[in-house]
Amino acid sequence: MSKMPNDEVLNELSEFYKVFGDLTRVKILCVLRMNELCVQDIADSLNMTQSAISHQLRLLKTMSLVTGRREGKTIYYSLADDHIAGILDMGLEHILE
Interacting residues toward a copy of itself by CB under 8 A: 1-5, 9-23, 25-27, 30-31, 33-34, 83, 85-96
How many whole angstroms separate alpha carbon 52 and alpha carbon 26? 14
How many whole angstroms separate alpha carbon 94 and alpha carbon 35? 24
Task: Candidates 9, 11, 35, 49: give the one binding DNA (CB under 7 A).
Answer: 49
Task: Candidates 74, 89, 91, 92: give the one binding DNA (CB under 7 A).
Answer: 74
How many whole angstroms separate alpha carbon 84 and alpha carbon 75? 20
Q: Report the Cα 77 to chain-centroid distance in Å.
A: 10
Q: Which residues would be at the binding site for DNA (CB under 7 A)?
A: 18, 21-25, 38-40, 48-52, 54-59, 68, 70, 72-76
